[in-house]
Structure 1
Amino acid sequence: MSFAIKDRIEVSLFINDTEFPLEALNVLHFIHIAWTTRALVPTVHFSIFDATHTLDSVPLQDGIPIRVVIRAYQGQTQTFNFRKYDHKKTNMGNGFAYEVDGYLDFPKYWTGTSVAGLRGTSNDVLSQIATTCGLQFDGASTSDSQLWLPRNKTYAEFARSIADRGYATAASYMEMAVTSTGVLRYKDVITLPPPQPSQRLVLGQFMSGVFTAMDYRPIARSGMNNKMTGYQNSRYSQSLITDVPSTQINTLEFRPDASAPLYNLSVKEKVVRGYQTFSGICLLYTSDAADDVTSV
Protein backbone atom coordinates (compact mmCIF):
# COMPACT_ATOMS: atom_id res chain seq x y z
CA MET A 1 0.00 0.00 0.00
CA SER A 2 1.43 3.37 -1.04
CA PHE A 3 1.49 6.70 0.76
CA ALA A 4 -0.43 9.47 -1.01
CA ILE A 5 -1.17 13.12 -0.29
CA LYS A 6 -4.43 14.28 -1.93
CA ASP A 7 -3.39 12.98 -5.35
CA ARG A 8 -0.36 15.32 -5.32
CA ILE A 9 2.27 12.69 -4.72
CA GLU A 10 2.28 8.94 -4.19
CA VAL A 11 5.17 6.96 -2.72
CA SER A 12 5.62 3.18 -2.56
CA LEU A 13 8.50 1.49 -0.74
CA PHE A 14 9.78 -2.04 -1.41
CA ILE A 15 12.37 -3.60 0.91
CA ASN A 16 13.94 -6.86 -0.25
CA ASP A 17 11.18 -7.08 -2.89
CA THR A 18 8.50 -6.88 -0.16
CA GLU A 19 6.24 -3.84 -0.23
CA PHE A 20 6.18 -2.00 3.07
CA PRO A 21 2.53 -1.11 3.78
CA LEU A 22 2.31 2.65 4.35
CA GLU A 23 -1.10 2.64 5.98
CA ALA A 24 -2.68 4.30 9.01
CA LEU A 25 -0.44 2.54 11.54
CA ASN A 26 2.81 2.45 9.58
CA VAL A 27 4.35 5.87 8.99
CA LEU A 28 6.84 7.22 6.45
CA HIS A 29 8.67 9.93 8.40
CA PHE A 30 10.86 11.11 5.51
CA ILE A 31 12.71 9.93 2.44
CA HIS A 32 15.70 11.70 0.89
CA ILE A 33 17.26 10.75 -2.45
CA ALA A 34 20.40 12.69 -3.33
CA TRP A 35 23.05 12.79 -6.05
CA THR A 36 25.75 15.40 -6.59
CA THR A 37 29.02 15.86 -8.46
CA ARG A 38 30.95 15.20 -5.23
CA ALA A 39 29.24 11.97 -4.19
CA LEU A 40 30.47 8.74 -5.77
CA VAL A 41 26.94 7.38 -6.24
CA PRO A 42 23.40 8.54 -5.50
CA THR A 43 22.12 7.62 -2.06
CA VAL A 44 18.81 7.16 -0.28
CA HIS A 45 18.05 7.81 3.38
CA PHE A 46 14.61 7.20 4.84
CA SER A 47 12.87 6.70 8.17
CA ILE A 48 9.77 4.58 8.75
CA PHE A 49 7.72 3.41 11.72
CA ASP A 50 6.62 -0.23 11.62
CA ALA A 51 3.63 -0.69 13.90
CA THR A 52 2.42 -3.85 12.15
CA HIS A 53 5.84 -5.58 12.50
CA THR A 54 6.00 -6.15 8.76
CA LEU A 55 9.80 -6.05 8.73
CA ASP A 56 10.08 -8.72 11.44
CA SER A 57 9.88 -11.30 8.64
CA VAL A 58 12.11 -9.40 6.21
CA PRO A 59 15.85 -10.13 6.61
CA LEU A 60 17.53 -6.72 6.64
CA GLN A 61 20.81 -8.06 5.30
CA ASP A 62 23.46 -5.91 3.74
CA GLY A 63 22.93 -5.30 0.04
CA ILE A 64 19.26 -6.29 -0.17
CA PRO A 65 17.35 -4.38 -2.89
CA ILE A 66 15.40 -1.26 -1.96
CA ARG A 67 12.97 0.16 -4.50
CA VAL A 68 11.33 3.56 -4.21
CA VAL A 69 8.43 4.31 -6.57
CA ILE A 70 7.24 7.94 -6.79
CA ARG A 71 4.43 9.41 -8.83
CA ALA A 72 4.06 13.16 -8.68
CA TYR A 73 0.91 15.10 -9.54
CA GLN A 74 0.23 14.89 -13.29
CA GLY A 75 3.65 13.30 -13.74
CA GLN A 76 5.05 9.96 -14.75
CA THR A 77 5.89 7.24 -12.28
CA GLN A 78 9.60 7.08 -11.46
CA THR A 79 11.33 4.06 -9.95
CA PHE A 80 14.64 4.34 -8.06
CA ASN A 81 16.62 1.19 -7.29
CA PHE A 82 19.10 1.04 -4.41
CA ARG A 83 20.96 -1.48 -2.27
CA LYS A 84 20.88 -1.37 1.52
CA TYR A 85 24.07 -0.08 3.10
CA ASP A 86 23.15 0.32 6.77
CA HIS A 87 20.17 0.61 9.08
CA LYS A 88 19.27 1.51 12.63
CA LYS A 89 16.38 -0.10 14.53
CA THR A 90 14.81 1.53 17.59
CA ASN A 91 12.13 0.04 19.86
CA MET A 92 9.34 2.59 20.29
CA GLY A 93 7.12 0.46 22.54
CA ASN A 94 4.22 -0.07 20.16
CA GLY A 95 6.46 -0.73 17.17
CA PHE A 96 9.92 -0.24 15.72
CA ALA A 97 11.41 2.79 14.02
CA TYR A 98 13.91 2.18 11.22
CA GLU A 99 16.41 4.52 9.61
CA VAL A 100 17.87 3.03 6.44
CA ASP A 101 20.72 4.13 4.17
CA GLY A 102 21.28 2.81 0.68
CA TYR A 103 23.34 3.33 -2.47
CA LEU A 104 22.37 3.14 -6.13
CA ASP A 105 21.92 -0.43 -7.34
CA PHE A 106 25.25 -0.81 -9.13
CA PRO A 107 27.36 -2.86 -6.68
CA LYS A 108 30.23 -3.40 -9.11
CA TYR A 109 30.68 0.35 -9.61
CA TRP A 110 30.38 1.02 -5.86
CA THR A 111 32.52 -1.83 -4.50
CA GLY A 112 34.29 -3.62 -7.37
CA THR A 113 37.99 -2.89 -7.98
CA SER A 114 40.40 -3.18 -10.87
CA VAL A 115 44.15 -3.18 -11.50
CA ALA A 116 44.00 -3.15 -15.31
CA GLY A 117 45.12 0.10 -16.88
CA LEU A 118 42.97 1.66 -19.59
CA ARG A 119 44.32 3.72 -22.47
CA GLY A 120 42.42 6.55 -24.15
CA THR A 121 40.95 9.91 -23.36
CA SER A 122 39.18 10.44 -20.05
CA ASN A 123 35.87 10.38 -21.92
CA ASP A 124 36.73 7.03 -23.56
CA VAL A 125 37.87 5.45 -20.30
CA LEU A 126 34.84 6.64 -18.35
CA SER A 127 32.65 5.19 -21.08
CA GLN A 128 34.44 1.84 -20.68
CA ILE A 129 33.97 1.94 -16.90
CA ALA A 130 30.25 2.70 -17.32
CA THR A 131 29.83 -0.23 -19.73
CA THR A 132 31.74 -2.58 -17.43
CA CYS A 133 29.57 -1.66 -14.44
CA GLY A 134 26.23 -1.60 -16.26
CA LEU A 135 25.78 2.17 -16.25
CA GLN A 136 24.68 4.29 -19.18
CA PHE A 137 27.09 6.98 -20.33
CA ASP A 138 26.62 10.58 -21.42
CA GLY A 139 29.98 12.22 -22.06
CA ALA A 140 31.84 14.91 -23.95
CA SER A 141 34.92 14.77 -26.19
CA THR A 142 38.22 15.43 -24.38
CA SER A 143 41.88 15.91 -25.38
CA ASP A 144 43.74 14.00 -22.69
CA SER A 145 44.66 10.62 -24.16
CA GLN A 146 47.00 8.63 -21.91
CA LEU A 147 47.26 5.41 -19.88
CA TRP A 148 44.99 5.58 -16.82
CA LEU A 149 45.93 3.30 -13.91
CA PRO A 150 43.28 2.35 -11.30
CA ARG A 151 45.81 1.15 -8.67
CA ASN A 152 43.28 -1.19 -7.03
CA LYS A 153 40.70 1.54 -6.51
CA THR A 154 36.99 0.85 -6.78
CA TYR A 155 35.49 1.73 -10.14
CA ALA A 156 33.72 4.69 -8.52
CA GLU A 157 36.97 6.03 -7.05
CA PHE A 158 38.83 5.35 -10.30
CA ALA A 159 36.20 7.27 -12.28
CA ARG A 160 36.38 10.17 -9.85
CA SER A 161 40.18 10.39 -10.11
CA ILE A 162 39.92 10.40 -13.93
CA ALA A 163 37.27 13.11 -13.98
CA ASP A 164 39.34 15.29 -11.64
CA ARG A 165 42.25 15.20 -14.11
CA GLY A 166 40.45 15.25 -17.44
CA TYR A 167 40.34 18.23 -19.77
CA ALA A 168 38.97 19.19 -23.16
CA THR A 169 40.68 22.55 -23.71
CA ALA A 170 42.92 24.88 -21.75
CA ALA A 171 39.80 26.60 -20.40
CA SER A 172 37.62 23.54 -19.78
CA TYR A 173 36.24 22.45 -16.42
CA MET A 174 35.17 18.81 -16.47
CA GLU A 175 32.66 17.46 -13.97
CA MET A 176 31.24 13.97 -13.48
CA ALA A 177 28.19 12.64 -11.67
CA VAL A 178 26.07 9.51 -11.60
CA THR A 179 22.35 10.24 -11.76
CA SER A 180 19.62 8.47 -9.81
CA THR A 181 18.59 6.72 -13.03
CA GLY A 182 22.03 5.14 -13.53
CA VAL A 183 23.59 7.49 -16.07
CA LEU A 184 27.26 8.44 -15.70
CA ARG A 185 27.47 12.01 -17.00
CA TYR A 186 30.77 13.69 -17.84
CA LYS A 187 30.53 17.25 -19.09
CA ASP A 188 32.54 20.42 -19.59
CA VAL A 189 30.53 22.83 -17.45
CA ILE A 190 32.10 25.81 -19.23
CA THR A 191 30.20 24.89 -22.40
CA LEU A 192 26.88 24.01 -20.79
CA PRO A 193 23.84 25.98 -22.00
CA PRO A 194 22.61 28.85 -19.84
CA PRO A 195 20.28 27.88 -16.98
CA GLN A 196 16.56 27.87 -17.52
CA PRO A 197 14.45 30.69 -16.08
CA SER A 198 14.18 30.45 -12.32
CA GLN A 199 11.22 28.60 -10.87
CA ARG A 200 8.72 30.14 -8.48
CA LEU A 201 8.28 28.83 -4.95
CA VAL A 202 5.15 29.17 -2.84
CA LEU A 203 4.85 28.34 0.86
CA GLY A 204 2.26 25.84 1.99
CA GLN A 205 0.11 26.06 -1.16
CA PHE A 206 -0.41 23.84 -4.18
CA MET A 207 -0.39 25.71 -7.50
CA SER A 208 0.18 24.50 -11.03
CA GLY A 209 3.57 25.42 -12.54
CA VAL A 210 5.34 26.29 -9.29
CA PHE A 211 7.19 24.38 -6.55
CA THR A 212 5.58 24.03 -3.15
CA ALA A 213 7.76 24.62 -0.07
CA MET A 214 6.12 22.91 2.90
CA ASP A 215 8.58 24.28 5.43
CA TYR A 216 11.78 26.32 5.69
CA ARG A 217 14.32 27.23 8.33
CA PRO A 218 16.48 30.33 7.87
CA ILE A 219 20.02 30.05 9.23
CA ALA A 220 22.32 33.04 9.73
CA ARG A 221 26.05 32.73 10.25
CA SER A 222 26.83 36.38 9.86
CA GLY A 223 29.17 36.60 12.86
CA MET A 224 31.92 34.28 11.64
CA ASN A 225 31.39 35.12 7.96
CA ASN A 226 31.69 38.84 8.62
CA LYS A 227 34.75 38.33 10.81
CA MET A 228 36.55 36.23 8.19
CA THR A 229 35.53 37.97 4.98
CA GLY A 230 33.21 40.88 5.64
CA TYR A 231 35.07 43.48 7.65
CA GLN A 232 38.10 44.96 5.86
CA ASN A 233 39.16 41.64 4.32
CA SER A 234 41.66 41.90 1.45
CA ARG A 235 42.97 39.32 -1.01
CA TYR A 236 46.22 39.78 -2.93
CA SER A 237 47.31 38.15 -6.17
CA GLN A 238 50.92 36.98 -6.41
CA SER A 239 53.17 36.42 -9.41
CA LEU A 240 56.76 35.57 -10.23
CA ILE A 241 56.40 37.50 -13.47
CA THR A 242 57.72 41.02 -13.03
CA ASP A 243 55.41 42.64 -15.59
CA VAL A 244 52.26 41.13 -14.07
CA PRO A 245 51.16 43.59 -11.42
CA SER A 246 49.99 42.43 -8.01
CA THR A 247 46.38 43.33 -7.38
CA GLN A 248 44.40 43.85 -4.21
CA ILE A 249 40.74 42.84 -3.99
CA ASN A 250 38.94 44.51 -1.11
CA THR A 251 35.54 45.58 -2.45
CA LEU A 252 32.40 43.69 -3.34
CA GLU A 253 29.17 45.06 -4.75
CA PHE A 254 25.96 43.24 -4.00
CA ARG A 255 22.25 43.90 -3.70
CA PRO A 256 20.92 42.73 -0.32
CA ASP A 257 17.76 40.64 -0.32
CA ALA A 258 16.71 41.86 3.12
CA SER A 259 15.73 45.24 4.55
CA ALA A 260 18.30 44.87 7.33
CA PRO A 261 21.34 42.84 6.17
CA LEU A 262 23.40 41.28 8.95
CA TYR A 263 26.34 43.53 8.21
CA ASN A 264 27.37 46.53 10.32
CA LEU A 265 29.04 49.44 8.51
CA SER A 266 30.14 51.16 11.74
CA VAL A 267 31.95 47.98 12.83
CA LYS A 268 33.69 47.83 9.46
CA GLU A 269 34.99 51.39 9.92
CA LYS A 270 36.31 50.61 13.41
CA VAL A 271 38.09 47.41 12.31
CA VAL A 272 40.38 49.39 9.94
CA ARG A 273 42.26 46.26 8.79
CA GLY A 274 40.86 42.73 8.67
CA TYR A 275 42.05 39.31 7.50
CA GLN A 276 44.54 39.33 4.62
CA THR A 277 44.64 36.37 2.22
CA PHE A 278 46.87 35.58 -0.76
CA SER A 279 46.26 33.78 -4.02
CA GLY A 280 48.38 30.98 -5.45
CA ILE A 281 51.61 32.10 -7.10
CA CYS A 282 51.27 32.68 -10.84
CA LEU A 283 54.10 30.95 -12.70
CA LEU A 284 53.19 31.11 -16.39
CA TYR A 285 51.31 33.23 -18.83
CA THR A 286 50.58 32.75 -22.48
CA SER A 287 50.10 36.35 -23.67
CA ASP A 288 50.63 39.92 -22.60
CA ALA A 289 47.24 40.08 -20.93
CA ALA A 290 47.19 39.60 -17.19
CA ASP A 291 43.94 37.65 -17.53
CA ASP A 292 45.85 34.88 -19.34
CA VAL A 293 48.07 34.09 -16.36
CA THR A 294 47.87 30.50 -15.18
CA SER A 295 47.88 29.97 -11.41
CA VAL A 296 49.21 26.82 -9.78
Structure 2
Amino acid sequence: MKSENKRLFKNIIEVLMKDKLAVAGLVIVLVFLILGAFASQIAPHDPIEVVLSRKLQLPSLEFPMGTDNMGRCIFSRILYGTRVSLYNALVVLAAILAVGIPLGITAGYVGGWVDNLIMRLSDIASTFPSSLLALAIVGIAGPSMKNIMIVFIFLWWAPFARIIRGTVIKIKEKDFVTAAVSCGSSRFKIIINHIFLNSVSPIIVLSTLRVAAIIMHLAAFSFIGLGTQPPQADWGVMLNDGRQFITTNPILMLWPGLAIMFSVFGLNMLGEGFNSALLPISGEGNSQKGVKYE
Protein backbone atom coordinates (compact mmCIF):
# COMPACT_ATOMS: atom_id res chain seq x y z
CA MET A 1 0.00 0.00 0.00
CA LYS A 2 2.81 2.43 0.84
CA SER A 3 4.59 1.77 -2.44
CA GLU A 4 1.29 2.25 -4.29
CA ASN A 5 0.68 5.56 -2.52
CA LYS A 6 4.20 6.73 -3.37
CA ARG A 7 3.68 5.84 -7.02
CA LEU A 8 0.32 7.63 -7.05
CA PHE A 9 1.85 10.71 -5.43
CA LYS A 10 4.67 10.69 -7.99
CA ASN A 11 2.17 10.50 -10.85
CA ILE A 12 0.19 13.41 -9.44
CA ILE A 13 3.32 15.55 -9.13
CA GLU A 14 4.32 14.70 -12.71
CA VAL A 15 0.88 15.69 -14.04
CA LEU A 16 0.87 18.90 -11.99
CA MET A 17 4.37 19.92 -13.08
CA LYS A 18 3.46 19.48 -16.76
CA ASP A 19 0.71 22.08 -16.36
CA LYS A 20 2.47 25.44 -16.83
CA LEU A 21 -0.45 27.46 -15.48
CA ALA A 22 -0.58 25.26 -12.37
CA VAL A 23 3.15 25.73 -11.80
CA ALA A 24 2.76 29.48 -12.24
CA GLY A 25 -0.13 29.43 -9.77
CA LEU A 26 1.92 27.45 -7.26
CA VAL A 27 4.80 29.93 -7.51
CA ILE A 28 2.46 32.90 -7.02
CA VAL A 29 0.78 31.30 -4.00
CA LEU A 30 4.12 30.44 -2.41
CA VAL A 31 5.36 34.01 -2.94
CA PHE A 32 2.29 35.45 -1.22
CA LEU A 33 2.58 32.97 1.65
CA ILE A 34 6.24 33.88 2.18
CA LEU A 35 5.53 37.62 1.99
CA GLY A 36 2.72 37.28 4.49
CA ALA A 37 4.69 35.07 6.87
CA PHE A 38 7.73 37.38 6.90
CA ALA A 39 5.94 40.71 6.51
CA SER A 40 7.38 42.11 9.73
CA GLN A 41 10.93 41.28 8.58
CA ILE A 42 10.50 42.47 4.98
CA ALA A 43 8.43 45.63 5.48
CA PRO A 44 10.70 48.72 5.56
CA HIS A 45 8.24 50.86 7.56
CA ASP A 46 5.45 50.66 10.11
CA PRO A 47 2.29 50.04 8.04
CA ILE A 48 0.08 52.27 10.19
CA GLU A 49 2.56 55.08 10.92
CA VAL A 50 1.06 58.39 9.75
CA VAL A 51 3.51 61.04 8.49
CA LEU A 52 1.56 63.71 6.62
CA SER A 53 4.71 65.45 5.42
CA ARG A 54 5.47 62.53 3.07
CA LYS A 55 1.95 61.84 1.75
CA LEU A 56 1.30 60.85 -1.88
CA GLN A 57 4.96 60.36 -2.74
CA LEU A 58 5.90 58.54 -5.92
CA PRO A 59 7.74 55.18 -5.78
CA SER A 60 11.36 55.50 -4.65
CA LEU A 61 14.09 53.45 -3.03
CA GLU A 62 12.76 54.32 0.42
CA PHE A 63 9.13 53.72 -0.57
CA PRO A 64 9.09 51.11 -3.39
CA MET A 65 5.37 51.64 -4.05
CA GLY A 66 5.11 55.23 -2.89
CA THR A 67 3.04 56.53 0.02
CA ASP A 68 -0.71 56.96 0.51
CA ASN A 69 -2.73 60.03 1.47
CA MET A 70 -1.69 59.62 5.13
CA GLY A 71 2.02 59.28 4.36
CA ARG A 72 2.06 55.54 5.07
CA CYS A 73 4.32 53.20 3.12
CA ILE A 74 2.16 51.37 0.57
CA PHE A 75 4.66 48.53 0.18
CA SER A 76 4.62 47.86 3.93
CA ARG A 77 0.82 47.98 3.98
CA ILE A 78 0.63 45.55 1.06
CA LEU A 79 2.87 43.10 2.91
CA TYR A 80 0.88 43.29 6.13
CA GLY A 81 -2.33 43.23 4.11
CA THR A 82 -1.15 39.95 2.60
CA ARG A 83 -0.82 38.50 6.07
CA VAL A 84 -4.26 39.75 7.15
CA SER A 85 -6.06 38.67 3.97
CA LEU A 86 -4.51 35.20 3.79
CA TYR A 87 -4.88 34.61 7.53
CA ASN A 88 -8.57 35.51 7.51
CA ALA A 89 -9.20 33.41 4.39
CA LEU A 90 -7.40 30.38 5.84
CA VAL A 91 -9.26 30.68 9.15
CA VAL A 92 -12.59 30.71 7.30
CA LEU A 93 -11.53 27.75 5.16
CA ALA A 94 -10.33 25.75 8.18
CA ALA A 95 -13.62 26.33 9.99
CA ILE A 96 -15.64 25.40 6.89
CA LEU A 97 -13.67 22.17 6.53
CA ALA A 98 -14.05 21.41 10.24
CA VAL A 99 -17.83 21.56 9.82
CA GLY A 100 -18.34 20.34 6.27
CA ILE A 101 -16.05 17.30 6.20
CA PRO A 102 -17.42 15.49 9.29
CA LEU A 103 -21.02 16.21 8.29
CA GLY A 104 -20.42 15.09 4.71
CA ILE A 105 -18.71 11.87 5.78
CA THR A 106 -21.42 11.14 8.35
CA ALA A 107 -24.22 11.74 5.83
CA GLY A 108 -22.61 9.60 3.14
CA TYR A 109 -21.52 6.71 5.34
CA VAL A 110 -24.41 6.41 7.80
CA GLY A 111 -27.21 7.27 5.37
CA GLY A 112 -30.87 7.03 6.34
CA TRP A 113 -32.49 9.73 8.44
CA VAL A 114 -29.07 11.09 9.41
CA ASP A 115 -28.26 11.71 5.76
CA ASN A 116 -31.67 13.34 5.20
CA LEU A 117 -31.25 15.62 8.22
CA ILE A 118 -27.78 16.80 7.23
CA MET A 119 -28.81 17.37 3.61
CA ARG A 120 -31.88 19.38 4.68
CA LEU A 121 -29.61 21.54 6.84
CA SER A 122 -27.36 21.91 3.81
CA ASP A 123 -30.35 22.99 1.72
CA ILE A 124 -31.26 25.61 4.31
CA ALA A 125 -27.69 26.95 4.43
CA SER A 126 -27.54 27.09 0.64
CA THR A 127 -30.81 29.03 0.47
CA PHE A 128 -29.47 32.14 2.17
CA PRO A 129 -27.52 34.64 0.03
CA SER A 130 -24.33 34.95 2.07
CA SER A 131 -23.63 38.58 1.17
CA LEU A 132 -27.12 39.76 2.10
CA LEU A 133 -27.05 37.84 5.38
CA ALA A 134 -23.62 39.29 6.16
CA LEU A 135 -25.01 42.80 5.55
CA ALA A 136 -27.92 42.06 7.89
CA ILE A 137 -25.63 40.76 10.64
CA VAL A 138 -23.33 43.76 10.29
CA GLY A 139 -26.34 46.06 10.49
CA ILE A 140 -27.29 44.46 13.81
CA ALA A 141 -23.90 43.77 15.41
CA GLY A 142 -21.83 46.50 13.75
CA PRO A 143 -18.98 46.45 11.20
CA SER A 144 -16.49 43.71 12.01
CA MET A 145 -14.45 41.24 10.00
CA LYS A 146 -15.20 38.65 12.67
CA ASN A 147 -18.94 38.93 12.01
CA ILE A 148 -18.42 38.59 8.25
CA MET A 149 -16.25 35.51 8.71
CA ILE A 150 -18.82 33.86 11.00
CA VAL A 151 -21.55 34.31 8.38
CA PHE A 152 -19.43 32.74 5.65
CA ILE A 153 -18.53 29.82 7.90
CA PHE A 154 -22.19 29.34 8.83
CA LEU A 155 -23.26 29.10 5.18
CA TRP A 156 -20.31 27.88 3.14
CA TRP A 157 -19.86 24.48 4.77
CA ALA A 158 -22.81 23.14 2.74
CA PRO A 159 -21.08 22.72 -0.68
CA PHE A 160 -18.19 20.89 0.98
CA ALA A 161 -20.55 18.56 2.83
CA ARG A 162 -22.44 17.75 -0.36
CA ILE A 163 -19.33 16.95 -2.39
CA ILE A 164 -17.81 14.81 0.39
CA ARG A 165 -21.12 12.99 0.84
CA GLY A 166 -21.25 12.06 -2.84
CA THR A 167 -17.65 10.83 -2.76
CA VAL A 168 -18.22 8.78 0.39
CA ILE A 169 -21.32 7.10 -1.05
CA LYS A 170 -19.22 5.85 -3.97
CA ILE A 171 -16.24 4.82 -1.83
CA LYS A 172 -18.18 2.87 0.79
CA GLU A 173 -19.35 0.44 -1.91
CA LYS A 174 -15.75 -0.42 -2.88
CA ASP A 175 -14.37 -3.89 -2.22
CA PHE A 176 -11.66 -2.69 0.18
CA VAL A 177 -14.29 -1.11 2.45
CA THR A 178 -16.40 -4.28 2.35
CA ALA A 179 -13.29 -6.29 3.22
CA ALA A 180 -12.52 -4.01 6.16
CA VAL A 181 -16.06 -4.46 7.47
CA SER A 182 -15.79 -8.23 7.08
CA CYS A 183 -12.53 -8.20 9.06
CA GLY A 184 -14.30 -6.58 11.98
CA SER A 185 -12.70 -3.14 11.73
CA SER A 186 -14.48 -0.49 13.76
CA ARG A 187 -16.57 2.13 11.98
CA PHE A 188 -14.18 4.84 13.18
CA LYS A 189 -11.13 3.06 11.69
CA ILE A 190 -12.92 2.44 8.42
CA ILE A 191 -13.89 6.11 8.14
CA ILE A 192 -10.38 7.38 8.96
CA ASN A 193 -8.24 4.79 7.14
CA HIS A 194 -10.39 4.17 4.09
CA ILE A 195 -13.21 6.67 3.62
CA PHE A 196 -11.47 9.92 4.55
CA LEU A 197 -8.11 9.18 2.94
CA ASN A 198 -9.79 8.31 -0.35
CA SER A 199 -11.91 11.49 -0.21
CA VAL A 200 -8.97 13.88 0.07
CA SER A 201 -8.74 14.65 -3.66
CA PRO A 202 -11.97 16.65 -4.06
CA ILE A 203 -11.33 18.35 -0.72
CA ILE A 204 -7.94 19.65 -1.88
CA VAL A 205 -9.29 20.85 -5.22
CA LEU A 206 -12.37 22.59 -3.82
CA SER A 207 -10.41 24.13 -0.93
CA THR A 208 -7.84 25.65 -3.27
CA LEU A 209 -10.51 27.19 -5.48
CA ARG A 210 -12.64 28.43 -2.58
CA VAL A 211 -9.81 30.28 -0.84
CA ALA A 212 -9.76 32.62 -3.83
CA ALA A 213 -13.50 33.26 -3.45
CA ILE A 214 -13.08 33.90 0.28
CA ILE A 215 -10.29 36.44 -0.32
CA MET A 216 -12.44 38.35 -2.83
CA HIS A 217 -15.50 38.40 -0.57
CA LEU A 218 -13.58 39.55 2.51
CA ALA A 219 -11.78 42.24 0.50
CA ALA A 220 -15.13 43.43 -0.87
CA PHE A 221 -16.61 43.88 2.59
CA SER A 222 -13.49 45.70 3.77
CA PHE A 223 -13.73 47.94 0.70
CA ILE A 224 -17.23 49.09 1.66
CA GLY A 225 -16.16 49.63 5.26
CA LEU A 226 -17.90 46.63 6.85
CA GLY A 227 -14.94 44.28 7.32
CA THR A 228 -11.45 45.13 8.51
CA GLN A 229 -11.44 48.61 9.98
CA PRO A 230 -8.82 51.33 9.37
CA PRO A 231 -6.01 51.90 10.09
CA GLN A 232 -5.27 48.17 9.94
CA ALA A 233 -3.56 47.16 6.69
CA ASP A 234 -5.94 45.20 4.50
CA TRP A 235 -6.24 45.04 0.71
CA GLY A 236 -9.90 46.02 0.78
CA VAL A 237 -9.24 48.90 3.18
CA MET A 238 -6.43 50.14 0.94
CA LEU A 239 -8.74 50.11 -2.08
CA ASN A 240 -11.28 52.14 -0.15
CA ASP A 241 -8.63 54.62 1.02
CA GLY A 242 -7.45 55.18 -2.54
CA ARG A 243 -10.92 55.49 -4.05
CA GLN A 244 -11.10 59.28 -3.62
CA PHE A 245 -7.79 59.66 -5.48
CA ILE A 246 -8.67 57.39 -8.41
CA THR A 247 -8.40 60.25 -10.93
CA THR A 248 -5.48 62.17 -9.40
CA ASN A 249 -3.37 59.34 -7.98
CA PRO A 250 -4.67 55.96 -9.24
CA ILE A 251 -1.55 54.17 -8.03
CA LEU A 252 -3.13 54.05 -4.56
CA MET A 253 -5.70 51.58 -5.87
CA LEU A 254 -3.38 49.88 -8.35
CA TRP A 255 -1.19 48.04 -5.85
CA PRO A 256 -3.91 46.45 -3.66
CA GLY A 257 -5.91 45.69 -6.80
CA LEU A 258 -2.94 43.85 -8.31
CA ALA A 259 -2.38 41.98 -5.04
CA ILE A 260 -5.96 40.70 -5.05
CA MET A 261 -5.85 39.90 -8.77
CA PHE A 262 -2.60 37.92 -8.64
CA SER A 263 -3.48 36.03 -5.46
CA VAL A 264 -6.85 34.98 -6.88
CA PHE A 265 -5.27 34.12 -10.24
CA GLY A 266 -2.60 31.99 -8.55
CA LEU A 267 -5.11 30.10 -6.42
CA ASN A 268 -7.46 29.48 -9.33
CA MET A 269 -4.67 28.20 -11.58
CA LEU A 270 -3.37 25.96 -8.81
CA GLY A 271 -6.87 24.66 -8.15
CA GLU A 272 -7.41 23.87 -11.82
CA GLY A 273 -4.07 22.08 -11.83
CA PHE A 274 -5.11 19.97 -8.85
CA ASN A 275 -8.39 19.31 -10.61
CA SER A 276 -6.56 17.87 -13.61
CA ALA A 277 -4.07 15.90 -11.50
CA LEU A 278 -6.26 14.59 -8.69
CA LEU A 279 -9.91 14.27 -9.60
CA PRO A 280 -9.57 12.11 -12.73
CA ILE A 281 -7.83 9.55 -10.50
CA SER A 282 -10.71 9.53 -8.01
CA GLY A 283 -13.35 9.61 -10.75
CA GLU A 284 -14.71 12.95 -9.57
CA GLY A 285 -13.37 15.19 -12.34
CA ASN A 286 -14.95 18.63 -12.49
CA SER A 287 -17.39 17.79 -9.67
CA GLN A 288 -16.69 21.06 -7.94
CA LYS A 289 -17.90 23.18 -10.84
CA GLY A 290 -21.52 22.95 -9.71
CA VAL A 291 -20.74 24.66 -6.42
CA LYS A 292 -22.31 28.08 -6.08
CA TYR A 293 -21.16 30.83 -3.75
CA GLU A 294 -23.40 33.83 -3.29
Which protein has the larger Cα radius of gyration, Structure 1 or Structure 2?
1
Name the structure where helix makes up a greater proportion of residues.
Answer: 2
Structure with the greater relative contact order (CA < 8 A, sep ≥ 6): 1 or 2?
2
Name the structure where strand makes up a greater proportion of residues.
Answer: 1
Length-normalised TM-score, structure 2:
0.22
